[in-house]
Amino acid sequence: MKSFCKGGRVLNTRNAGRKRNLAVVDKNKPDQAVHKNNLIKQNNKQEPFPVEPPRHLNKDARSLWKSLAPELIKMGLVTKSDQTNFEMFCTQYQEYREAYAAIKKHGTIYKDSNGNLRKNPAVNVLDTCTKNIRSLGMVLGIDFNSRSQLIDTKSEDNNIDINEAMKAFGG
């Protein structure tokens, strides 16, 4: 297998395009552990992630923030620089809940004043929010796959039960 040098590092050409998986720290590849530890050290130097949600967030967004922020902070991989993405995540969750409530109340289709069937616009909002939540969740390490790339899943301190946290919000 051929390898090449990039920035002082030797890369395996077969795996050159793959994301690093920091959950799998192979003793034969000590650079994985070094990279993970360096990431945590760098994050510890930055301003800490705020536990309290911004005042302008609505009820559901604030509740989600209060529930998930302490868990993300415990993992040690979020900093103040992640606040905007997490705020967007919580806001999208708020909009998702509102769209879901509108669909529950009015249905996915309705009859307009002429008797024609129309799609409830909340369906599009729900779809967009779902995609945005999934995307932002990956960025923040909230979903399993991205979290497994960011933390050592064998460590008890880094376990987060997103299903339990989301149950509190009907998710």
Q: What is the pLDDT of residue 122?
A: 97
Domain that holds residue 70: 3-167
Contact (CB, 8 A) for 99 and 129: yes
Distance, CA of 93 to chain centre: 12
Stronger pLDDT, 85 or 160, i.e. the higher one: 85
- What is the CB-side half-sphere exposure of residue 89 using CA atoms within 13 A? 23
Please give the biggest Cα pair distance in the chain. Answer: 70
pLDDT at 120 over 70: yes
pLDDT at 161 over 90: no
Q: What is the pLDDT of residue 147?
A: 60
Q: What is the pLDDT of residue 138?
A: 87
Distance, CA of 68 to chain centre: 10
**pTM of the shown model:** 0.65
Query: At CA 133, angle to CA 128 and CA 137, rounded to 5?
Result: 155
Stronger pLDDT, 77 or 116, i.e. the higher one: 116
Q: What is the pLDDT of residue 156?
A: 47
Contact (CB, 8 A) for 157 and 120: no
For the chain, what is the domain count? Answer: 1
Three-state DSSP class for 26? coil
Q: What is the pLDDT of residue 155?
A: 47
pLDDT at 82 over 80: yes
46-81 pLDDT tens trace: 888 899 999 999 999 999 999 999 988 887 768 888
